[in-house]
Amino acid sequence: MNNLSDFGLIGLAVMGQNLVLNVESRGFQVSVYNRTGDATDAFVAAHADKKLVPTHTVAEFVQSLSKPRRVMLMVKAGAAVDAVIEQLIPLLDANDIVIDGGNSLFTDTERRDAWLTAKGFRFIGAGVSGGEEGARKGPSIMPGGPASSWEAMRPIFESIAAKVDGAPCVMHIGPGGAGHYVKMIHNGIEYGDMQLICEAYSLFKAAGMTADEMADVFDAWNEGDLHSYLIQITGKALRQRDPETGQPMVDLILDKAGQKGTGQWTLMNAADNAVVVSTINAAVEARVLSSMKALRVAASSQLSGPEATLEVDRQQLIAQVHDALYASKVLSYAQGLDLMRTMSDKKDWALDLGGIASIWRGGCIIRARFLNHITEAYRADPTLPHLMLAPFFKNLLNTNQQAWREVVALAASHGIPVPAFSASLSYFDSLRTERLSANLLQAQRDFFGAHTYERVDKPAGQWFHTAWPEVIE
Ligand code: 2AM
């Protein structure tokens, strides 16, 4: 053991512990501190063979680190992050680096960045995705902050991150809150992916498939272009049996979804920037609707609907749902990318969208084979106005849309809710329609509020008003 550690981590909940073990396994000596000292001692005792230094006060922790100090916080997002930073400030030296690896809201990260930078310290807001297993074996890391801080942390980040084709799943995302922002979008996209899979499941269920039969479908999909962590775990989850009853585990789980807020943050940011993320929105709202269980139970016996039983060719349904899921997923990602591009322009973050897609290929929850195509699309054209216009995706949407329409129509005619499939389809149809119905909307606005309108037969930027007839009620 050396006198001083290379790295220090505060907050020894499971994510923190696993990150420490990951960093240590790459040859670094790590100091650890937890508000509750028992957790520190228990953790270090359980890993007595490792280069871990337990500390019991923040001062002892700081003194145990080599300079410039690299201090990572893995504490509960919110007030706890500020509380720990307050404790660190009097103890740190200029140029020491504080990394917040929690799920912080990016605007909090911007505030902390300004606060610490003004005091001469360096701050990194790093999104870390991959859950407990990712933290231990290799997460996807999205660090934001000044380039010099990134360079100082780069050796550690690159060695602990997941690797895909030898490339680490980490890159300098941008300044200030950019890292946590991109992690937030990652989570919004994750909500969309999960909901789309659940809608596929609901259609298979309506077609009378058993959990094992569905598991076979997801396993097969995982061998193809939908290959991804979420498809893989869905297959495994469907196959799981309850040891008590022997029934499929999923059949015994209550249909009320929880959420921790990152999906809602994505919606709020989209609303702030007038960017449409309708698929992600549908996914967040589907969780909200699911949580209204008592109302749904009451309504189910009072409001009628068609029989939710699909008497269809099963193989054909599976193929169609595959295509609908893939097309819907593409537009969900396109929405997340559109929001990132908008914020990147607004904040001068210079986000590398292709690079971001490539560091999502490993370690994180949305890791998937198809992300390669997103990277290729932005490498080929960094100014791509929208993902659906990239050659690969244009072709995919043109090919898959017939099946996609049939699936949405089938679901609607049988009263099976598919909010994310249909949100993606409406988004697609709106964006590929040259003339929408907003001419009438403009007429209405001008009618009641003299808001004026442009004309199709006059140059853009010329505004007109009509003397609409008086309304007599
Ligand atoms: P604890 O074990 O002492 O509760 C996740 O909750 C992690 O954040 C835990 O390690 C927890 O420490 C830590 N944490 C939560 N609030 C904190 C605070 N105000 N100060 C320091 N650590 C905190």
| Pocket perturbation via mutation, ligand 1, pick of 76, 85, 98 by most ligand atoms within 8 A of CB | 76
pLDDT over 90 (residue 214): yes
Closest C-alpha among 410, 403, 231 to residue 312: 410
**Minimum CA distance residue for ligand 1 atom 22:** 35
Mean pLDDT of the chain: 97
Domain ends where: 131, 155, 176? 176
Is the minimum distance from the CB of 12 to ligand 1 under 6 angstroms?
Answer: yes
306 and 352: one domain?
A: yes
Give the number of the atom of ligand 1 that is nearest the alpha carbon of residue 13.
10
Question: What pLDDT is stored for residue 276 in this prediction?
Answer: 98
Supply angle C-alpha 265, 267, 272, rounded to 5: 95
User: Mean pLDDT across the stretch 183-191?
Assistant: 98
332 and 189: one domain?
A: yes
Is the minimum distance from the CB of 42 to ligand 1 under 6 angstroms?
Answer: no
Question: What confidence tens digit (pLDDT) does each residue in 399-454 have?
Answer: 999 999 999 999 999 999 999 999 999 999 999 999 999 999 999 999 999 999 99
Four-point Cα dihedral 395, 397, 398, 403, nearest 10? 130
145 and 203: one domain?
A: no
393 and 447: one domain?
A: no
Is the minimum distance from the CB of 20 to ligand 1 under 6 angstroms?
Answer: no
Q: Are strands 97-100 and 52-54 parallel, antiparallel or unpaired?
A: unpaired
341: CATH: 1.10.1040.10
The Cβ of residue 166 has, within 10 Å, a number of other Cβ atoms equal to: 5
Q: What percent of the chain has pLDDT over 90?
A: 98
Question: What pLDDT is stored for residue 463 in this prediction?
Answer: 98
Could you tell me the two tokens for 147? 């380039």
Active site residues: 183, 190
Question: What confidence tens digit (pLDDT) does each residue in 58-113 have?
Answer: 999 999 999 999 999 999 999 999 999 999 999 999 999 999 999 999 999 999 99
Could you give the number of structural domains in the chain?
Answer: 3
| Pocket perturbation via mutation, ligand 1, pick of 17, 19, 35, 55 by most ligand atoms within 8 A of CB | 35
Give the number of the atom of ligand 1 that is nearest the alpha carbon of residue 36.
3
Q: What's the length of the chain? A: 473
461: CATH: 1.20.5.320
Q: 88, 11 in Cβ contact below 8 A?
A: no
Q: 242, 252 in Cβ contact below 8 A?
A: yes
Calculate how far, in angstroms, residue 84's C-alpha sits from the geometric centre of ligand 1: 9
Is the minimum distance from the CB of 126 to ligand 1 under 6 angstroms?
Answer: no
Q: What's the rounded Cα separation, in Å, for the pair 151 and 147?
A: 6
Calculate how far, in angstroms, residue 77's C-alpha sits from the geometric centre of ligand 1: 10
Calculate how far, in angstroms, residue 39's C-alpha sits from the geometric centre of ligand 1: 10
Q: To 10 degrees, what angle do helices 178-206 and 106-118 make?
A: 160
Calculate how far, in angstroms, residue 82's C-alpha sits from the geometric centre of ligand 1: 12
Calculate how far, in angstroms, residue 11's C-alpha sits from the geometric centre of ligand 1: 6
Q: Give domain status of residue 2, yes or no.
A: no
Q: What's the rounded Cα separation, in Å, for the pair 471 and 153?
A: 68
Question: What pLDDT is stored for residue 317 in this prediction?
Answer: 98
100 and 194: one domain?
A: no
Question: What confidence tens digit (pLDDT) does each residue in 241-293 have?
Answer: 999 999 999 999 999 999 888 999 999 999 999 999 999 999 999 999 999 99
Cis peptide before 419 (omega within 30 of 0): no
259 and 396: one domain?
A: yes
Domain that residue 444 falls in: 438-473
Domain ends where: 151, 176, 201? 176
**Minimum CA distance residue for ligand 1 atom 18:** 80
Q: State the pLDDT confidence band at 26, using cuts at 50, 70 and 90.
A: very high
User: Mean pLDDT across the stretch 393-404?
Assistant: 98
- DSSP 3-state assignment of 362? coil
Is the minimum distance from the CB of 13 to ligand 1 under 6 angstroms?
Answer: yes
150 and 241: one domain?
A: no
Closest C-alpha among 445, 463, 447 to residue 455: 463
Q: Give domain status of residue 389, yes or no.
A: yes
170: CATH: 3.40.50.720
Q: Give domain status of residue 1, yes or no.
A: no
Closest C-alpha among 7, 15, 13 to residue 50: 7
191 and 125: one domain?
A: no
The Cβ of residue 87 has, within 10 Å, a number of other Cβ atoms equal to: 17
Question: What pLDDT is stored for residue 1 in this prediction?
Answer: 85
455 and 425: one domain?
A: no
**Minimum CA distance residue for ligand 1 atom 20:** 80
Q: State the pLDDT confidence band at 121, using cuts at 50, 70 and 90.
A: very high
Give the contacts of 379 (CB within 8 A, at least 6 positions apart): 354
- DSSP 3-state assignment of 72? strand
Q: State the pLDDT confidence band at 188, using cuts at 50, 70 and 90.
A: very high
Question: What pLDDT is stored for residue 37 in this prediction?
Answer: 87
Q: What's the rounded Cα separation, in Å, for the pair 99 and 82?
A: 12
Q: Give domain status of residue 103, yes or no.
A: yes
Element (H, E) at 181: helix 178-206
381 and 404: one domain?
A: yes
Domain ends where: 111, 145, 176? 176
pTM of the full predicted structure? Answer: 0.96
Question: What pLDDT is stored for residue 116 in this prediction?
Answer: 97
Phi, psi for residue 361 in degrees, rounded to 5:
-75, -20
Say which residue the tokens 């929880």 belong to: 258
Q: State the pLDDT confidence band at 359, using cuts at 50, 70 and 90.
A: very high
255 and 310: one domain?
A: yes
48 and 94: one domain?
A: yes
